[in-house]
């Protein structure tokens, strides 16, 4: 395909009763890239996926997948996309093999014909092929769902929160699989609430409250971070947050696991000055270090 | 086509892998038809009748003997006085009592009239009615034969009531067609709607809708297994009612099958309609249970005759497909009529089927 845009989203709006789920979404996703839609629960990720997979209609705006309009060319789109919904949507009472055969047949193909496409993933669950889907572990269910979404060699793959509720090892494996699928030329649009998965995508869009608040490669988004960022460590996070939030020149102060990320304005206090503020408040023995912002820092700045 | 076959195969797997579904689909109909047709019958067998009177009186003995000979009645005790009747009935030891006046035979022969009193158990009006009418029947036939042999003659005519088609008031004649309607509707409507709504609820429909298979074929493949099971049920119910319940099959079997298929079609349409409007299995069950089964039981003429309902309910009963099906089944199986006698009912039911299927397929959402 000459046009390098795989998915084009122009001014999509969607409301459910009084809630605005999506507000004027504009995105363009390139052929063969992994595009990550990153945002917390309720940000509108699933709504956008459902519009792109022709399952719901947008109230306003247009969208196309590989040049096919999501409203007019519904049938064509349904034939050429793979979709993995956010919840496990395979038949629990059918076995692994039966599920896979069913989806292959429904998409007009056979498992044998496309075995090469799914081989990498399927070989990991093949030894459980007679097991009912309901008896699989979370990670295996996810692999089976991915196989079912891939079995008809889709041009574009939509994965709605595929790693939610999956353990860290399986998550890593899953992203490795996505990288291999991408190599075969499939465009992948994936959503996730985990910010650490953002750097595994070629490009990302940050979504919050139904709006895209930033988009670009993870590096671009990070490089746009304007403030100086420090990590402060202490056993008692709460007293640090309480002591630093009122200080002038402190833009944001938020806890990140066992440390606290402190964004300081240009011309604001330096790291040493922060330490002296803390000791003046009677907080001793904490460390401070200048750090590179991550996607989560960007997200917090924009939200 | 291969896609549709895969769908149908999958649907059968769902049915056969779920014990509860199997129970509802294949066991429940048999149990229901046997229960309704056999155990829960309104007829009375071997009702105990006490006698108060002089057993040495020839006419009394004659009547008592023929009561005892009746297959539905059985003589209990011969009581010396009417005072004991009440306690026997209250204790449930007797269903009814017959009291003959003193010198019954002499009064009868001399004056041509003698008095006999029948006492029934009004606490159970249905069976009291039946038992007393059995006794009345026995007495009047005895009276007739006595008066014809008597030299006096000229005794007034006794009404000879005979129920056509069901002379023994066999209740299975009424229940079997009704239960057939109920079972077919329950399976077609409830099972179909629940199976579709289940996919909605579990989210599997989301993935199926994204596939290139057209919704029409998805619906068709959802309906096919239940259609097949309904036909199996129809066959088993018909065999049971013919050979176990002794309901006659006077009309054409082909016509009965045609009528049944049309009824199954309209029930599938109803089920589809329920699945379109409900979003959880619970709603679908409630809608089918309260919205379909109850009105079918109450208003289709299965329990209460439609003719005795108030006008508003009669009007409402007209929109229940089962009513028309039950009327036709009775006409075909018991009266043995041909197609010309059921044209009205057949066209109403066909119209309902077309309308229900059309409206539910039209409203089936191709999106979420």
In whole angstroms, give the CA distance from residue A226 to residue A256.
Answer: 19
Shared-domain flag, residues A38 and A131: yes
Grouping H, G, I as helix, E, B as strand and the rest as coil, residue B87 is helix
Query: Do residues A113 and A151 lie in contact, with contact meaning Cβ atoms separated by under 8 Å?
Result: no
Query: Do residues B172 and B247 lie in contact, with contact meaning Cβ atoms separated by under 8 Å?
Result: yes
Verify whether the Cβ–Cβ distance B203 to A89 is below 8 Å: yes
Task: Provide mean pLDDT across the span B92-102.
Answer: 84
Shared-domain flag, residues A100 and A114: yes
* Nearest chain A residue (CA) to B14: A93
For B248-311, the three-class secondary structure string (H helix, E strand, C coil) is CCCCCHHHHHHHHHHHHHHHHHHHHHHHHHCCCHHHHHHHHHHHHHHHHHHHCCCCCCHHHCCH
In whole angstroms, give the CA distance from residue B25 to residue B229.
Answer: 7
Predicted local confidence at residue B171, as pLDDT: 61
Burial class (CB in 10 A: 0-12, 13-18, 19+), A269: buried
* Min Cα separation A1/chain B (Å): 22
pTM of the complete model beyond 0.80: no
Residue B356 banded pLDDT, cuts 50, 70, 90: very high
Residue A61 banded pLDDT, cuts 50, 70, 90: very high
Shared-domain flag, residues A45 and A189: yes
In whole angstroms, give the CA distance from residue A90 to residue A265.
Answer: 50
Predicted local confidence at residue A2, as pLDDT: 45
* Nearest chain A residue (CA) to B202: A89
C-alpha angle B168-B173-B174 in degrees, rounded to nearest 5? 115
In whole angstroms, give the CA distance from residue A263 to residue A292.
Answer: 11
Q: Does A98 touch chain B (CB under 8 A)?
A: yes
Residue B168 banded pLDDT, cuts 50, 70, 90: low
Which domain CATH number covers A290?
Answer: 3.30.70.100
**What phi, psi does B325 have (nearest 5°)?**
-65, -45
Query: Do residues A253 and A241 lie in contact, with contact meaning Cβ atoms separated by under 8 Å?
Result: yes
Which domain CATH number covers A141?
Answer: 3.40.50.300
Shared-domain flag, residues A271 and A154: no
User: What does each C-alpha distance from B267 to A183, B32, B108, B192, B303 come to in angstroms?
Assistant: 52, 18, 61, 9, 20
Predicted local confidence at residue B170, as pLDDT: 59
Verify whether the Cβ–Cβ distance A108 to B3 is below 8 Å: yes
Predicted local confidence at residue B41, as pLDDT: 59
Shared-domain flag, residues A118 and A43: yes
Shared-domain flag, residues A197 and A278: no
Sheet containing B73-79: give its strands across. Answer: B73-79, B47-52, B96-100, B116-120
Shared-domain flag, residues A269 and A206: no
In whole angstroms, give the CA distance from residue B272 to residue B229.
Answer: 16
User: What does each C-alpha distance from A119 to A112, A114, B132 come to in angstroms?
Assistant: 10, 9, 81
Highest mean pLDDT of the ranges A157-171, A274-288, B101-115, B294-308: A157-171
Residue A98 banded pLDDT, cuts 50, 70, 90: very high
Predicted local confidence at residue A281, as pLDDT: 84
CA nearest to B278, candidates B351, B192, B186: B192
Verify whether the Cβ–Cβ distance A57 to B367 is below 8 Å: yes
Verify whether the Cβ–Cβ distance A101 to B204 is below 8 Å: no
Distance of CA B197 to the CA centre of its chain: 31
User: What does each C-alpha distance from A167 to A45, A303, B113, B207, B301 come to in angstroms?
Assistant: 21, 28, 98, 24, 60
A219, A248, A281 - which closes a domain: A219
Shared-domain flag, residues A198 and A230: no
Predicted local confidence at residue A258, as pLDDT: 81
Predicted local confidence at residue A238, as pLDDT: 83
Alpha helices in chain B (DSSP H): 2-17, 19-22, 28-34, 58-69, 85-90, 104-111, 125-149, 172-185, 192-202, 204-210, 215-243, 253-277, 281-286, 294-299, 311-317, 321-330, 343-363
A201, A219, A237 - which closes a domain: A219
* pLDDT, tens only, B236-270: 888 888 888 778 888 899 999 999 999 999 999 99
Interface of B with A (CB under 8 A): 2-3, 6-7, 10, 13-14, 17-18, 202-204, 206-213, 366-368
* pLDDT, tens only, B213-227: 888 888 888 899 999
Shared-domain flag, residues A245 and A179: no
In whole angstroms, give the CA distance from residue A187 to residue A175.
Answer: 14
Q: Does A148 touch chain B (CB under 8 A)?
A: yes
Distance of CA B19 to the CA centre of its chain: 28
Instruction: Give percent above pLDDT 90 in chain A.
Output: 48
Query: Do residues B95 and B33 lie in contact, with contact meaning Cβ atoms separated by under 8 Å?
Result: no
For A12, the domain range is: 5-219
DSSP letter string, B225-244 = HHHHHHHHHHHHHHHHHHHT
Instruction: Give percent above pLDDT 70 in chain B.
Output: 90
How many other CB atoms are found less than 10 A from the CB of residue A11?
13
Sheet containing A68-69: give its strands across. Answer: A19-30, A5-16, A60-65, A68-69
* pLDDT, tens only, B290-337: 888 888 888 887 777 777 778 888 888 888 898 899 889 888 888 888
Task: Provide mean pLDDT across the span A144-167.
Answer: 91
User: What does each C-alpha distance from B74 to A98, A206, B46, B133, B139 come to in angstroms?
Assistant: 64, 88, 5, 14, 14
Verify whether the Cβ–Cβ distance B210 to A54 is below 8 Å: yes
Verify whether the Cβ–Cβ distance A93 to B14 is below 8 Å: yes
Query: Do residues B284 and B300 lie in contact, with contact meaning Cβ atoms separated by under 8 Å?
Result: no
Residue B159 banded pLDDT, cuts 50, 70, 90: very low
**Strand partners of residue A16:** A19
Shared-domain flag, residues A81 and A177: yes
* Higher pLDDT pick, A81 / A236: A81
In whole angstroms, give the CA distance from residue B254 to residue A16.
Answer: 52
Q: How many domains does chain A have?
A: 2
A154, A184, A219 - which closes a domain: A219
Average pLDDT, chain B: 83
Shared-domain flag, residues A59 and A113: yes
Predicted local confidence at residue B151, as pLDDT: 57
**What phi, psi does B115 have (nearest 5°)?**
-105, 140
In whole angstroms, give the CA distance from residue B166 to residue B179.
Answer: 18
Q: Which two tokens stand for residue B188?
A: 């077609």
Shared-domain flag, residues A211 and A171: yes
Grouping H, G, I as helix, E, B as strand and the rest as coil, residue B366 is coil
Average pLDDT, chain A: 89
């Amino acid at each position: 395909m000459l046009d390098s845009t795989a998915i084009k989203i122009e001014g999509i709006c969607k409301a459910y009763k009084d809630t605005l789920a999506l507000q004027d979404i504009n995105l363009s996703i390139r052929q063969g890239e992994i595009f990550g839609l990153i945002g917390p629960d309720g940000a509108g990720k699933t709504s956008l996926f459902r519009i792109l997979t022709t399952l719901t209609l947008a109230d306003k705006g247009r969208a196309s997948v590989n040049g096919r309009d999501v409203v007019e060319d519904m049938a064509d789109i349904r034939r050429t996309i793979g979709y993995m919904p956010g919840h496990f949507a395979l038949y629990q009472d059918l076995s692994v093999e039966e599920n896979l055969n069913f989806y292959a047949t429904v998409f007009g193909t056979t498992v044998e014909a496309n075995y090469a496409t799914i081989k990498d993933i399927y070989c990991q669950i093949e030894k459980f092929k007679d097991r009912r889907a309901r008896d699989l572990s979370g990670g295996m269910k996810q692999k089976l769902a991915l196989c079912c979404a891939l079995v008809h060699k889709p041009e574009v793959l939509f994965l709605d929160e595929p790693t939610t509720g999956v353990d860290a090892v399986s998550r890593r494996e899953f992203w490795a699989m996505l990288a291999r699928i991408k190599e075969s030329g499939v465009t992948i649009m994936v959503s996730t609430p985990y910010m650490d998965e953002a750097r595994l995508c070629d490009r990302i869009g940050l979504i919050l409250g139904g709006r895209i608040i930033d988009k670009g490669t993870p590096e671009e988004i990070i490089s746009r971070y304007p403030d100086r960022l420090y990590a402060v460590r202490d056993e008692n996070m709460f007293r640090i947050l309480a002591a630093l939030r009122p200080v002038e020149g402190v833009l944001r102060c938020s806890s990140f696991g066992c440390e606290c990320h402190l964004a300081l304005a240009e011309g604001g206090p330096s790291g040493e000055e922060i330490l002296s503020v803390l000791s003046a408040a009677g907080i001793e023995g904490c460390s401070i270090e200048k750090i590179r912002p991550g996607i989560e820092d960007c997200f917090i700045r924009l939200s | 086509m291969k896609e549709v076959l895969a769908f149908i195969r999958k649907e059968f797997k769902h049915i056969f892998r779920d014990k509860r579904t199997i129970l509802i689909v294949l066991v429940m109909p048999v149990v229901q038809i046997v229960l309704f047709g056999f155990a829960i019958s309104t007829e009375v067998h071997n009702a105990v009748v006490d006698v108060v009177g002089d057993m040495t009186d020839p006419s009394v003995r004659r009547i008592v003997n023929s009561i005892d000979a009746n297959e539905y009645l059985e003589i209990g005790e011969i009581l010396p006085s009417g005072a004991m009747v009440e306690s026997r009935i209250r204790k449930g030891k007797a269903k009814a009592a017959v009291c003959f006046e003193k010198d019954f035979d002499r009064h009868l022969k001399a004056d041509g009239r003698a008095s006999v009193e029948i006492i029934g158990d009004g606490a159970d009006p249905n069976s009291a009615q039946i038992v007393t009418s059995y006794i009345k029947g026995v007495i009047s036939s005895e009276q007739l034969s006595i008066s014809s042999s008597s030299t006096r003659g000229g005794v007034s005519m006794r009404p000879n009531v005979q129920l056509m088609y069901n002379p023994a008031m066999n209740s299975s004649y009424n229940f079997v067609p009704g239960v057939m309607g109920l079972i077919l509707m329950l399976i077609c409507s409830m099972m179909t709607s629940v199976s579709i709504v289940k996919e909605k609820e579990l989210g599997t429909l989301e993935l199926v809708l994204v596939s290139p298979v057209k919704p029409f074929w998805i619906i068709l493949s959802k309906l096919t297994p239940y259609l097949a099971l309904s036909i199996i049920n129809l066959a088993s119910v018909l065999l049971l009612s013919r050979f176990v319940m002794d309901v006659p099959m006077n009309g054409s079997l082909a016509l009965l099958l045609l009528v049944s298929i049309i009824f199954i079609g309209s029930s599938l349409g109803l089920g589809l309609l329920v699945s379109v409007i409900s979003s959880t299995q619970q709603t679908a069950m409630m809608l089918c249970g309260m919205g379909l089964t109850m009105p079918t039981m109450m208003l289709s003429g299965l329990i209460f005759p439609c003719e005795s309902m108030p006008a508003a309910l009669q009007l409402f009963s007209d929109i229940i497909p089962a009513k028309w099906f039950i009327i036709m089944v009775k006409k075909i199986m018991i009266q043995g009529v041909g197609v010309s006698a059921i044209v009205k009912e057949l066209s109403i039911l066909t119209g309902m089927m077309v309308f229900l299927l059309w409206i539910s397929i039209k409203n089936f959402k191709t999106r979420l």
